[in-house]
Amino acid sequence: MEKKITYFENPGIENTEKVIELVKERKEELSIENIVVASVSGRSSVKVLENIPDAKIVSITHHSGFRGGDDLELEQEYVKKLENAGVAIYVGSHSLSGVGRGISNKFGGITPVEIIAGTLRLFSQGVKVCVEISIMAADAGLIPTDKEIIAIGGTAKGVDTAVVLKPAHMGNFFDLRINEIIAMPRP
Ligand SMILES: Cc1cc2nc3c(=O)[nH]c(=O)nc-3n(C[C@H](O)[C@H](O)[C@H](O)COP(=O)(O)O)c2cc1C
């Protein structure tokens, strides 16, 4: 089987539109229904919604307090658009850091789950994010684990990575399968 992977010259938000175009094509090709998007503000998820309105979209933001206090980083203008279209917006603990981050922040060192995150970042920030948000969505009961989905992530803002994967729950993390890379930044 031969498949296309698009590599971006640089990571970052400028790749958002192209990623969404490529996701739309691959979704049709594989008849995939579910798309999970990492979208801190909700902006990238709105772009996915506008371009792929027939998808079942889950939009995942940072957990409350990620930037301090108890604040959420979602922006209301995007939340409204997503809610009006029935898109699920999920806020919860990050599966590939979790309490492990609290341990390493306080005592130093690194926990096994953070090593998994670091290893996935060998591909790109976005590949790590795609895996992380798929587990979060599966554990929230928002996507099935018995069929392929498309996950979309990026580098801090916007999106630059998309993969086709078969999700898994936290408890059987190693059953998760990254089946296709649609796009990722090369450096
Ligand atoms: C749960 C979660 C974890 C994330 N982890 C990272 C990360 O480790 N590295 C990174 O560069 N971006 C990370 N991001 C950012 C996303 O990959 C993406 O660029 C961002 O959510 C897009 O948000 P926007 O739609 O507001 O632009 C994370 C986002 C979420 C929601």
Domain at 6-185, CATH homologous superfamily: Pyruvate kinase, C-terminal domain (3.40.1380.20)
Burial class of residue 111 (count of CB atoms within 10 Å of its CB; 0-12, 13-18, 19+) = middle
pLDDT digits (tens, 9 = 90+) for 145-168: 999 999 999 999 999 999 999 999
Distance CA 100, CA 110 (A): 8
Of all residues in the chain, the percent with pLDDT exceeding 70 is 100
Among residues 118, 116, 178, 136, the alpha carbon closest in space to that of 37 is found at: 136
Q: What is the mean pLDDT of residues 92-121?
A: 97
Distance CA 179, CA 87 (A): 25
126 lines ligand 1 (CB under 6 A): yes
What per-residue confidence (pLDDT) applies to 18? 98
pTM over 0.85: yes
What per-residue confidence (pLDDT) applies to 48? 98
For the record, the structure tokens of 27 come out as 């979704």
Mean of per-residue pLDDT scores for the chain: 98
**What confidence tier does 86 reach under pLDDT thresholds 50, 70, 90?**
very high
Q: Among the atoms of ligand 1, which is closest to the Cα of residue 126?
A: 17
**What confidence tier does 177 reach under pLDDT thresholds 50, 70, 90?**
very high
Distance CA 95, CA 100 (A): 10
Among residues 30, 35, 74, 77, the alpha carbon closest in space to that of 52 is found at: 35
Distance CA 44, CA 46 (A): 5
CA of 135 to the centre of ligand 1 (A): 15
What residue segments make up the domains of the chain, in order of their start? 6-185
What per-residue confidence (pLDDT) applies to 119? 98
